Amino acid sequence: MFSKDIYIKRRAQLAGSVEKGIILLLGNSEAAANYPSNTYKFRQDSTFLYYIGLNEPDLAAVIDTESGEEVLFGNNVDIDDIIWMGPQPSVDEKGSSVGISRTAPLGELKNYLENIRRQGRKIHYLPPYRNHNKILLNNLLGIPTDSLKANASVELIKAVVAMRLIKGSEELKEIEHACNIGYAMHYTAMKLAKLGMTEQELVGVMEGIAASEGSMVSFPTILSQQGQTLHNHKHDGILTEGRLIVIDAGAETNMNYTSDFTRTLPSSGKFTSQQKDIYRIVAAANNLAVEMAKPGLSYKDVHLAASKVLAEGLKSIGLMKGDTEEAVAAGAHALFMPHGLGHNMGLDVHDMEDLGEDYVGYDDTYKRSSQFGLASLRMGKMLQPGHVITVEPGIYFIPALIEKWKEEKINTPFINFDKLKDYYTFGGIRLEDDIVITETGCRLLGAKRLPITVEDVEREMAK
C-alpha cells in the first residue's frame, strides 16, 4: 500500500470531480474455481485499489461528494476465520490505515444506499464486470443486471479515467518494478529456449519468476510458435527448427501494477533470412513509435506512422505495392497487423478496459475508427505526460484472413497475394515495449530494454 495520504488525496480529487451524490466503489470477492473454498488467486478491483488501497475481499466504500463523508463497509472476522486464516485487522483498523474513520458492516450498505435513494440523491457506480458484483449491485440498487452497465455513471467513469490515466511518480516506480520482473521473465526465456523443449516449460519458468518476484502474471502468458494467432494461450508445441516463438507476457507487482512485453525468438537461436526481413520491419516500426511518441501527437498519429513503416517494409520485399500513404489510409497493412499499436497500462494491463475502452483511449476529439485494424486501436487520443502505453507493432501471416481478402478482392491494389503463399507457415512477429510519455517525448520503462535487434537476440540466445 502507498502512504494513506495518497489515498486521501485521490478520494478528495475524485469527490471534487463528480458533481452531486454518492460514489459507490465495490471491491471484489473471492471467486470459486471448482468448489467454493478452492478459489482463484484473489485479485482486487483496480479502481478500488486506486482509491481505497485495501487488497482484501468483500469490502465496499462510499464517498459523499457533497458532505465529504466516507464510509468503509466490511465485516470483522470471527473465531472460525481466525482459526483458518490467522488474526486479521479489524475493519476500523483497515479504514484508518487508508484515512477512512467511519466503518460499518457490509450488511448495512443496502440500508445506507436506500436512505440515499429516498432522499432522491444520485448513486454513482462503475460498470461491474464480475457476476458477483452484478448480483450485489442488483440487490443494492434494484437495477436489473442486464441494465447495470447502461446505468453506470458516465460522470464517474470519466473522472476515474482522467485520474488513473496520468500516472504519479509512486505509480511509475511500481510499473518500473513490474517491467523489471517482466524483463527477467523474457530474458530467462531467451536464454533457456532450446529445440526440443516444450512451449509449456518456458511458460512455467516465466510465470514462476512472476510469482516469485511479484503478485502474479499480468495476464495469462501468450507463448506459441503459432504466433499468427494473436492471443495464443495454447502451449502444447515442441520447439522446432525454423519456427518463431511469439512471447507476450508481463508481471504484476505485489501492489498490482503491471508490465507487458513481447519478443519473438527464433526457436533454434538463429533467424532464417525470410524471418530476418520481416523482423527488421517490425523492429523499425517499434523504434519509430518510441522515437516519435510525445505530447502534442495523438497515439493514432503514432499508430499510423508505425503502420507506414510496416507498409513501406512490406513493399520493399514485394508483399505490398502501390502508394504507401494510400495503402495505409485504405487500411491495407491491416492484413498483416490487424490490431492497434498499443494500449494504456497501469493497475490493469489493458488499463481500465472494464470502464469502457472508448472512455480510456478516445474522447470528444478523437473517435474510434470503424476501419478493420484501426478499429482495434485501444488508445487513439492525444498523448499527455504521465500516460503509460505499450508499443507493440507486429506482422502476422494469417492464412484464413489472406484467403478471405483475396477472395473478396479487398485492397487488391496494395497486396501481392501471389507472393503470400510462401508465408502461410511463417507465423507472426510482435515486438512490444512499455513507455511513459514525458514533457518532451517518451521514455522506455524498466531498467534495461530487452534485446530487440536480430543481432542482439541471436547473441543472447547463443550465450
Q: HEC states along 303-365?
A: HHHHHHHHHHHHHHCCCECCCHHHHHHHCHHHHCCCCCCCCECCCCCCCCHHHCHHHHHCCCC
By CB under 6 A, the residues from 200 to 259 that bind ligand GLY are: 219, 248
Nearer to ligand GLY among residue 123 and residue 189 (C-beta) = 189
Nearer to Mn ion among residue 262 and residue 275 (C-beta) = 262
260 binds ligand GLY (CB under 6 A): yes
Number of shown-chain residues binding Mn ion (CB under 5 A): 2
- The CA–CA distances, whole Å, from 73 to 114, 366, 456 equal 15, 39, 53
Min dist CB 349 to ligand GLY, Å, is 6
Please identify, among the stretches 291-299, 319-327, 384-392, 413-421, the one whose residues bind Mn ion according to the rule CB under 5 A: 384-392
Which does residue 372 touch among ligand GLY, Mn ion, none (CB within 5 to 8 A, set by kind)?
Answer: none
Sign of CA dihedral 366, 364, 167, 149: negative
Nearer to ligand GLY among residue 258 and residue 411 (C-beta) = 258
Q: Which residues contact 233 (CB under 8 A, 6 or more apart)?
A: 220, 221, 222, 224
Nearer to ligand GLY among residue 261 and residue 405 (C-beta) = 261
171 binds Mn ion (CB under 5 A): no
Q: How many other C-beta atoms can be found within 10 angstroms of the C-beta atom of residue 62?
A: 23
DSSP summary character for residue 128: P
Task: Find out whether 321 and 406 touch, Cβ atoms under 8 Å.
Answer: no
Q: How many other C-beta atoms can be found within 10 angstroms of the C-beta atom of residue 83?
A: 9
By CB under 5 A, the residues from 251 to 270 that bind Mn ion are: 260
Min dist CB 113 to ligand GLY, Å, is 36
By CB under 6 A, the residues from 151 to 210 that bind ligand GLY are: none
Q: How many other C-beta atoms can be found within 10 angstroms of the C-beta atom of residue 295?
A: 16
- What are 439's three cell numbers? 514533457
351 binds ligand GLY (CB under 6 A): no
Nearer to ligand GLY among residue 260 and residue 357 (C-beta) = 260
Nearer to ligand GLY among residue 219 and residue 417 (C-beta) = 219
- The CA–CA distances, whole Å, from 219 to 154, 222, 233, 350, 406 equal 27, 9, 10, 10, 34
Q: Distance between alpha carbon 420 and the CA centroid of its chain, in Å?
A: 32
Which does residue 10 touch among Mn ion, ligand GLY, none (CB within 5 to 8 A, set by kind)?
Answer: none
By CB under 5 A, the residues from 387 to 406 that bind Mn ion are: 390
Give me the residues that bind Mn ion (CB under 5 A), please. 260, 390
Give the residues lining the site for ligand GLY (CB under 6 A): 219, 248, 260, 343
